[in-house]
A and B are shown apart, each in its own frame.
Chain A
Amino acid sequence: MTVILDRAPVPPATLLLREAHLLDPRAGLDGPGDVLVRAGQIVAIGEPGTLEAPADGEVVEAQKLHAFPAFVDPHVHLRTPGQEYKEDIETGTRAAAAGGFCAILAMPNTQPVVDNASIVQSLREIAETQARVPTGFTAAVTVGQKGEHLTEAADLAAAGAAGLTDDGLPIRSANVMRQALQYQRLAGLTIALHEEDPTLSAGGVMHEGDVSALLGVAGIPSVSESVMVARDCDLAAYEDGRIHIQHVSARATVEIIERAKAAGVKVTAEATPHHLLLSDEAVRTLDTGKKMNPPLRSEDDRQAIIDGVRSGALDTIATDHAPHARDEKEQPFEDAPLGVTGLETAFAAVHTDLVVPGVLDLGLVVQRMTAGGEPFGLHVPTLAGGRPADICLVDLDAEWQVGEAGYESRSANCAFHGRTLTGRVRMTVAAGAVAFRERTFAIGAVN
């Protein structure tokens, strides 16, 4: 079954990217070149300066820019329906486009929960008028995310749900998890998992460690994640199911996933930019902008996440973009809601702290940031002829301060708010149409 993503109708682009540095490890590209997009399709990739400008399109002088295949984020909270004061499909997908994403998957922990086909259908209809980039909607594994009864997964799949997840909550019962995996043989949707043993994490608001001991706030131990990942890898192996582990935060989890993959379990996993860049030291000031679940963990855990992304144990970088209103975050740490936004900063943050210092290779980061749809059966964007154009143009030298000009997102609870980052998305082409163009980015249009 092919998952279909939805977005508002936009004219397909015809444009020439001239002399950009093309970087796409999957396509074997790493050097200057021209890309010609006609009617939304990449029709030619050539040596720099060799491709003819299209008579009916625009020319983007991209000499100082990098062109990557655009990114795919499998983990975004669009807050629709029910919490549109935090984000909606229009603002959330605008943020995605600004971050260089050409496709995203929305999480179903809305109000009401996306747990039946009619909600999926209505969300797809809204996306058809509002979404700036192709958007897929995941549905809940269990009705109301209560962890008790399975949702009508076959009906959901027929309605176009992109995957199943109770994200925000774990599936407490091992038996319900097992049944979901059995039912997957019928419905076919990948199950994405927020892993947390609620009896171990109960009451916790940050990573359990030296910092939580000092602050006197209840901790969420790293084992609360890893014991559930171990359980679900075993269940997936037993039922031959396909699972995707969301926002991996702990070293032990990375090690379990490595072992499961080596044993042939169909498991994929994601890491977030905030878990890659920050540790629980960032919570020392009880800044609610650093509160999320799973929490920022120890420096040792962070290093393991970086190693996991490098080795491929963690397949993709996902944002877990989780918008909250300002007044909700302006509360004492223990009372503030969980989550940070990240679509607009994901690439720049990883580039600044991990690529520039030489910790991760740029090409590898591009590979991981484009791979987010793969666990759900979406195609992986690549710079190749004959494909709909999914391209982001990035100025790797541009410095900018996060939030200096506000956000495309409706919310401002970015984990990197106020930081100076290096690397700025100038333009995003998603499924053949221009989805984002930075305001200051001069375009040399020919007509």
Chain B
Amino acid sequence: MKRHLLSIDDLTREDIERILGRAESFAEVSGREIKKVPTLRGRTVINLFYEASTRTSSSFEIAAKRLSADLVTIKSAGSSVDKGESLKDTIQTLSAYDPAAIVFRSPAAGAAGLVARWTQASVINAGDGKREHPTQALLDLYTLRRHRRNLDGLKIWIVGDVLHSRVARSNILAFTRMGCRVTVCGPPTLIPRGVEALGCDVSATLDGSQDADVIYALRMQHERMTGSFVPSLREYAAQYQINARRLGAGQLLMHPGPVNRGVELSAEVIDSPQALITEQVQSGVVVRMAVLYELLAGAPTSTEAPIHPEPQPA
């Protein structure tokens, strides 16, 4: 496996299987009274968030702590970013502390990849703009596997605002890599032109979703509702909301959170046993433990790996 986790594309199917297997063994730790293992004792993990986050940030924190790593969390508000420091300078400053890993979230696509060029630490992409959110996809696979042992041939519909969703992109890549058949569905204004190139089908309506094994609803962000992307929230809900009538009896329902109740999901399906939403959050910790373990355990404590060659000046 590579030294960084920047994209689901960095992972082979075997890599994914191994991470999910590791997460299962950490789930056993999480069931203990003392939920801590000494694996990363003495190693430093920096959680660097340039964008608001509750669940991703907190679950990385808990994951790092359960592995006994020393953890620093930095949010952009109040940091030197606000004082105009460039990303490169910030990363070089933080790298001076010799962290084993930098968990990085940024509003800009590819930002985690840039960070990886500027530091000796392993970089974990915790969301780069609208591009990818690979650990979300891994925790979704982990959650789904607990209910459907064999993912091969599973039919998954991803419904909602695909255009602005990094979760959608990582999940299309991850689900298809595991042999699932993915259809994306949403208002045509919110489906990116060319998305078929990721290996999925596209549908403008929910017709046909009855055959899906899993419905994966995306968060409809408030700012998208006001533009011209959808005429109204009412029309969006009428066309795309997953409710009791539309959710088939054997179908599983997933959502990356936070949910807009009454918009992309109706209250009754959120609370139904078919919804795996809370379980997804739980899986976040063990899967992120597994990712940290994969990238850091076994690697030398002070990385001797060479800094990535300086990128071209561009």
- Closest residue on chain A to residue B130 by CB atoms: A216
Once bound together, how far apart are the Cα atoms of A418 and B114, in whole Å?
19
Could you mark each residue 282-314 of chain B with 1 if its beta carbon is under 8 Å from any beta carbon of chain A, else 0? 000000000000000000000000000001111
Q: Closest Cβ of chain B: how far from A269's Cβ, in Å? A: 26
Q: Closest Cβ of chain B: how far from A324's Cβ, in Å? A: 9
Inter-subunit contact B88/A327 (CB<8 Å): yes
B208 within 8 A of A: no
Q: Closest Cβ of chain A: how far from B36's Cβ, in Å? A: 35
Question: Which label, helix, strand, loop or mixed, suits the secondary structure of the A interface?
Answer: loop
Partner of B312, one of A216, A327, A332, A418: A418
Residues of A within 8 A of B129 (CB): 216-217, 332, 334
Residues of A within 8 A of B196 (CB): 210
Could you mark each residue 320-344 of chain A with 1 if its beta carbon is under 8 Å from any beta carbon of chain B, else 0? 0000001101111111100000000
Residues of B within 8 A of A412 (CB): 313-314
Residues of A within 8 A of B130 (CB): 216-218
Inter-subunit contact B313/A332 (CB<8 Å): no
Inter-subunit contact B109/A334 (CB<8 Å): yes
B249 within 8 A of A: no
Inter-subunit contact A332/B193 (CB<8 Å): no
Partner of A333, one of B109, B166, B193, B195: B109
Partner of A216, one of B86, B109, B113, B311: B109
Once bound together, how far apart are the Cα atoms of A288 and B165, in whole Å?
22
Inter-subunit contact A212/B312 (CB<8 Å): no
- Closest residue on chain A to residue B131 by CB atoms: A216
Residues of B within 8 A of A221 (CB): 193
B110 within 8 A of A: yes
- Closest residue on chain A to residue B109 by CB atoms: A217
B169 within 8 A of A: yes
A172 within 8 A of B: no
Once bound together, how far apart are the Cα atoms of A289 and B87, in whole Å?
17
Inter-subunit contact B132/A216 (CB<8 Å): yes
Inter-subunit contact B192/A219 (CB<8 Å): yes
Inter-subunit contact B197/A332 (CB<8 Å): no
- Residue of B88, B166, B192, B311 with highest tally of chain A CB at under 10 A: B192
Once bound together, how far apart are the Cα atoms of A331 and B129, in whole Å?
13
Q: A209-B193, A212-B192, A214-B169 are in contact. Are A330 and B88 (CB under 8 A)?
A: yes
Residues of B within 8 A of A218 (CB): 130
Residues of B within 8 A of A211 (CB): 194, 197
A138 within 8 A of B: no
A413 within 8 A of B: yes
B108 within 8 A of A: yes
Q: Closest Cβ of chain A: how far from B196's Cβ, in Å? A: 8
A213 within 8 A of B: yes
Partner of B109, one of A210, A326, A332: A332
- 15 A-B pairs with CB atoms under 8 Å apart are A210-B196, A213-B195, A215-B131, A216-B132, A216-B165, A217-B109, A219-B192, A286-B109, A327-B86, A327-B88, A331-B108, A332-B106, A332-B114, A417-B314, A418-B312
**Which are the 5 A-B pairs with shortest beta-carbon distances?**
A289-B314, A332-B108, A286-B110, A210-B197, A216-B131
